[in-house]
Structure 1
């Protein structure tokens, strides 16, 4: 006979077990995306009462050297800076603060840089600075004290832009995803791509702040040798509910979800117009990603899309978006992730959605049906009922994948089709691996098809898109019939002839 179960575990005292210094390395490996990390730093600027934030990329000719985030917030005293630079440092957050856990500055920064320096000044105190150098942080939590004269010089560098009397400068050095070699236009391409994504991320997640008259974010690029400013533009708000006309005449409507442990939570339900090409609609992932709940905490968007176990995403619900402002005390039902890019909800929330109603007694489930009907009606009017396909995956440019998501229904639960370059010994233009869902393009023809440009994972988007359109049906069938086999041979012959013509033309040019 077993002992009677003890509901409480008995203890015999306590023992102090401080974290190993390697905890800093674990802290910097939480999967922060670059744009998410920068947004976390801007959150701190907002909490500090900043009106202007500058994100400054510094380059030395073709080489990127540093990234800085500068604000005109209230700054910090030396004691406050020490707390801010302490992992999990305890401080009293304002009721409306965007910060929560005391790890964002360190974790976000050291996920992307080998060192993070913070220099700050209040109206009444001198400039002070601290630096975490990852190399030393992992061996004993040794945080550097920045030389006072340098701290003041960094504040002075940004005097009037945006710092006037007070503010904070965060400096990243050894940024991991900066191009190792900037020649050949790599730095310019990196900046164009990165700044575009960063502008969309900040414009979306902070759109309520940016829509006001007293908060601005500027992204700038400067050459530190010449002082030349290559770029300087303001981030525009990107309202995910900013459609020019409604998609359904009876929406938006506000439903109320009654949660016993939290109280009533308003659900502001919207239906986007069909076939929108606006960034406000397309900025969030794929068609399946951008539908569902948009959670806000203190006016900061913390989740863009997703149904949180209420239902599965569906192509037909791509126009449905619901704005939810999280209640002040809802930790039992809504739990924000550390990186502030998602909300975990308890089953209580999903259950309450089935019973949620608006002031007229209309049910939230009726809204879901209405959003679906708008999508289906738009498809009917266009005269097309397109067959569901297996989506393109690795090797296809994200813009191509998004276009397929927008234009074609995707078969749920199916692994996507990948495309890659590889040597094919028989000289064919392409090969098909039906079992692993891979299209292989012959490496021999790559340089000619790229026109001498440098290759990459998502290169040759036009060629790869055409190959997808030709071949995706092959993967959606269990076997190929004689007619399909003949078509494959026909395409193979013509494509090989075209590729050889490209090679000959390239040889003539040389």
Structure 2
């Protein structure tokens, strides 16, 4: 052992001065030395109680697995069990090249959620997620929270790869690699700045190339980071907290139009994902999250968009009387609760169409850990996904009872069940451990029958022309989910352009464009303009006019309707304009 290890061992065991540590195998003791019982007979003190409290720490530091520890006259003996066929024990350091594959399975939304987990574990009540752009190109991402912050030692440990610590029962962290895996999955440089109290700042930076070479970490000058971190924390009204920044990212390097599409889609997907994963925490007010875009060149940020909760069980009415029902699965002494829901067949909101997709894709188990959603749908080999089971959703939120029967991947996006758990769920009933009651099979069959009955009464909606650029992706996603899209017609766009003041809209059938009067844009958007601005106004205009883009030509009826809309809407927008001017100049 080196001097540092000896001194550390002495400090941890409470010795007033460094002591020597000998590591021996149980086989060598048998051949060459006395057993501990003989040592005691010769007056050797075992002092096991004194050293036991550091046993786990010493084991982790020495990487020796199971061993016994005893001491005599300032010498600590670590006795390592060795099998008869073992010549020696080697410590094989991992190849730094493994960093290349770290985080490869993280999507952007799962990676950001991992950073948010750290913020929640640090006691944060607010989290700001900031996309950073430069020359209209996305180049970075920063997550800021108002949690407890970290001191220097804690900051070092946070940057350590595979750091294992004793997690609190209510912690979101689990594996000790979340920060690094999430970050290196999307960026080559990770910078963490933190403040545990006003006036104290710590900064650490990991560069992927350095970590691949020698696991080295840069310690940043507090004077150089204090200003920016203080500004970030001020946005949250906080004096303590942490910022995590990704730079040298692998975000798409595209044209301005491509950037807008990727950035808009990424923000939308992230907002929906965080709203779903943390819906319980958001609804209860335990956490607030906002997403914004910051222009590094202009040093300005756009308006923050709040993450709203999306409850996959937040339906206003129950589909079937008596549901949801609680079933119980028994695994030995463990009694596991299954909260079985049947979704209303006509449900069509975001709580059913998760991520804007068909709600039938999210049938199955919804698994929670400390009120964080780990799995949204899927039958985990117990059943197969089937269109007839689209209304069946089951809550499993007693993760403490569940954890010995599941395996979770590091991205917290996949859970597998043991065979024992699968069998227990299949045998679950409303009356635990007895015959009778409603079984899991009964529940599935009831959910299927509700959907079949509803299909007999459903009326199909008429298809519409697909909207594209100009209408916000959130709205387009709902339109696609709610209404069939015409495949025999090209999509339409919505744009602004200059027109006479007495006009409000123009339709160009051949170009497939709905034009709105640029003159009134600032008034109708509040001055916040963008490709997808004025979503309510544009949606209303789209619904009003989309049918005019079907067929081969406009007849007299179509033209008369257009003329009528133009006159009435033109009068309405001029009146609105005058009304607002009167308010501004009383």
Distance in 2 of aligned mates of 1:265 and 1:207: 23
SS class of match (2:379): coil
Q: Does 1:245 align with 2:245?
A: no
Whether the 8 Å contact between 1:288 and 1:318 is mirrored in structure 2 is yes
* Structure-2 residue corresponding to 1:277: 348
User: Is the partner of 2:228 in helix, strand or coil?
Assistant: helix
Q: Distance in 2 between matches of 1:327 and 1:187?
A: 40
Partner of 2:258: 186
* Distance change in 2, residues 1:10/1:329 (3 Å): farther
1:301-341: CA deviations, max 9, x gaps? 00000111111111000011001014325443112221111
Residue of structure 2 equivalent to 1:132:
206
1:470-508 deviation per Cα after TM superposition (whole angstroms, max 9, x unaligned): xxxxxxxxxxxxxxxxxxxxxxxxx9xxxxxxxxxxxxx
- Judge which range, 211-220 or 49-58, deviates more: 211-220
Long gaps (5+) in structure 2: 1-82, 461-472, 485-509, 514-551, 553-586
Q: Tell me, yes or no, if the aligned pair for 1:45 and 1:71 is still in contact at 8 Å.
A: yes
**Counterpart for residue 342 of structure 1:** 414
Please name the residue that 1:150 is paired with. Answer: 224
Corresponding residue for residue 94 of structure 2: 19
Distance 1:311 1:9 in 2: 48
Q: Distance in 1 between matches of 2:475 and 2:310?
A: 19
1:247–1:141 Cα change, 3 Å: same
SS of 2:100's equivalent in the other structure is helix
Report matched runs for 1:28-427 at 5 Å. Answer: 28-29=103-104, 31-123=105-197, 126-162=200-236, 164-177=238-251, 179-183=252-256, 185-260=257-332, 263-283=334-354, 286-328=358-400, 330-359=402-431, 361-382=437-458
Rounded Cα–Cα distance in structure 2 between residues aligned with 1:207 and 1:370: 28
Distance 1:269 1:199, change over 3 A: same
- Aligned partners of 1:338 and 1:243: how far apart in 2? 31
Once the two structures are overlaid, the 10-residue window that deviates more, 60-69 or 306-315, is 60-69
CA shift, 1:229, in A, is 2.3
Distance in structure 2 (CA, Å) of the matches to 1:69 and 1:155: 11
In 2: Cα distance, 1:251 partner to 1:258 partner: 21
Distance in 1 separating the partners of 2:85 and 2:456: 66
Query: Does the C-alpha gap of structure 1 residues 401 and 368 become closer, same or farther in structure 2, counting only changes over 3 Å?
Result: farther
Cα separation, partners in 2 of 1:159 and 1:244, compared to 1, 3 Å = same
Contact 1:287 1:402 (C-alpha < 8 Å) held by counterparts: no
CA distance in 1, matches of 2:376, 2:316: 20
Higher helix share goes to which structure? 2
* Cα displacement (A) at 1:407: 9.3
Pair 1:402–1:225, CA change in 2 (3 A): closer
Distance 2:103 2:385 in 1: 32
Greater radius of gyration (CA): 2
Which secondary structure does the structure 2 equivalent of 1:358 belong to?
Answer: coil
Please state whether the residue corresponding to 2:147 is helix, strand or coil: coil
Distance change (3 Å), C-alpha of 1:28 and 1:164: same
For residues 401 and 310 of structure 1, do their structure 2 counterparts lie closer, same or farther at Cα, with a shift above 3 Å needed?
farther
TM-score (norm: length of structure 2): 0.62
Contact map agreement 2:336 2:402 (CA 8 A) in 1? no
Do the aligned partners of residues 9 and 241 (structure 1) sit closer, same or farther apart at CA in structure 2, a change above 3 Å counting? farther
Instruction: Check 1:326–1:450 CA distance in 2 against 1; reply closer, same or farther (3 A cut).
Output: farther
How much does 1:88 deviate?
0.7
CA distance in 2: counterparts of 1:357 and 1:37, whole angstroms? 37
User: Partners in 2 of 1:160 and 1:300 — Cα distance?
Assistant: 27
Higher relative contact order (CA 8 A, sep 6+): 1
What CA distance in whole angstroms lies between the structure 2 residues aligned with 1:41 and 1:53? 10
Q: Distance in 1 between matches of 2:308 and 2:478?
A: 22
The answer as to whether partners of 1:271 and 1:371 remain within 8 angstroms in 2 is yes
What's the Cα RMSD here? 2.9
Q: Which moved more, 1:200-209 or 1:286-295?
A: 286-295
Unaligned runs of 5+ in 1: 1-7, 385-396, 409-447, 452-494, 496-510
User: Aligned equivalents of 1:188 and 1:361: distance in 2?
Assistant: 55
- 1:398 to partner: Cα distance: 13
Give the Å deviation of 1:405.
Answer: 9.4
Q: Which deviations, in whole Å up to 9, do the C-alpha atoms of 1:174-224 show, x marking residues without a partner?
A: 2212x31443x3322222111000000000011111111231001011222
Contact in 2 for aligned 1:200/1:238 (Cα 8 Å): yes
More off after superposition, 136-145 vs 48-57: 136-145
Change (3 A) 1:163 1:11: farther
Of 12-21 and 238-247, more deviation after overlay is shown by: 12-21
| Normalised TM-score (structure 1) | 0.71
2:183 match: secondary structure: helix
2: distance between equivalents of 1:275 and 1:176? 41
Distance 1:405 1:232, change over 3 A: closer
